[in-house]
Amino acid sequence: MRKYLVFDIGGTDLKYAIINQAGTLIVVGKTPTIKTSLPAFIQSLQTIIDQYATAINGIAVSVPGKVQHPEETIQFGGMLPFLNGVKLADYLKTTVPIVVENDGKAATLAELWRGDLKAVNNGMVLVLGTAVGGGLVINHQLVRGSHDQAGELSFMSAGSTFAPTDMYGAKGSAVGMINAIASALGLPDQNDGPAVFQALTTGQATALAIFNSYCQQIAGLIQNVQTVVDVDRFVIGGGIAAQPLVAATINQAFDQLRADSPMIEHTLTRPEIVTSRYHGQANLFGALYQLLLTTEERQYA
């Protein structure tokens, strides 16, 4: 059975995996994302490619920023601005096909392939990570938009301006929420997610106040999007989605939002809000699905 090397390039970590065409995870690993320069970043990818070169039939990459298809050119690059205008196939030494996909769209493709949108006609994925990624599905098709930028939820305003601090990229950042709680608790590592969720589970008041406010922001984002797209299900993704408390608290905040506004509650049908089946690995599986769809592996859709 064919095997593929898949990368998920994040603002904090570079995740990688070997996955076969049936969607079975064989190898998984991660290393800190190199942010210093494009050559150093490319070398970090090449080192992993060289390790598995003889065992793979293709390479799929989930990236921040917009991706122009079919050229597979990255635009903007999100947290890694040196990726702007880069076509990875021009830099990586390999003989196998390389396909690149935006991270939010990759997470959505994973849910379409084998996840919580497989049996849903209209849905939305929200990826809560360094910023807020997203992907919209209408009539069981990923919506890319006229400029390949549908679902860029980080650029929606959560305040009165479109300053970076007022946009959902900041307000809805799971990393920012973890950092804020860790700082408030005086934790030595501000990225210590397990310690933060331990505090939340035990009911630490300061941690809960920050977390509940964060979940209210996400509930507000869901409501704003739902008024436009009217989907059946929102899927919450990202690493923190593995914590049951996340979807449960977002659901509670969403119910409270509706209860506080009878017009919304009585007029607009409530969508489901569920946890991603893939959690922090969705981008890996979705990037692979895009590779399969782009090559001759369509029978695995």
End of a domain among 69, 102, 135?
Answer: 102
Looking at the structure of the chain, the number of domains it has is: 2
Inside any domain, residue 108: no
The number of C-alpha atoms within 13 Å of 124 and in the hemisphere containing its C-beta is 25
The reply to whether 149 falls in a domain is: yes
pLDDT at 212 over 70: yes
Q: Per-residue pLDDT tens for 219-268?
A: 999 999 999 999 999 999 998 999 999 999 999 999 999 999 999 999 99
Q: Which residues of 191-227 are buried (b: 16+ CB within 10 A; e: fewer)?
A: ebbebbbebbeeebeebbebbeebbbbbbbbbbebbe
List pLDDT tens digits, range 76-103: 877 899 999 999 999 999 999 999 999 9
Residue 19, domain extent? 3-102
Task: Give mean pLDDT, residues 150-159.
Answer: 93
> Among 55, 71, 102, where does a domain finish?
102
Q: Return the structure tokens found at 131.
A: 């910023």
140, 79: one domain: no
Looking at the structure, do residues 140 and 226 belong to the same domain, yes or no?
yes
| pLDDT value for 204 | 98
Mean pLDDT of the chain: 94
69 & 38 share domain: yes
Q: What is the CATH number of the domain that holds 51?
A: 3.30.420.40
**pLDDT classification of 296: cutoffs 50, 70, 90:** low
pLDDT of residue 300: 44
Task: Quick: pLDDT tens for 118-146.
Answer: 999 999 999 998 899 999 999 999 999 99
In a domain, 283, yes or no: no
As to burial, measured by CB atoms within 10 angstroms (0-12 exposed, 13-18 middle, 19+ buried), residue 65 is buried
| Torsion sign, CA atoms 91, 44, 28, 174 | negative
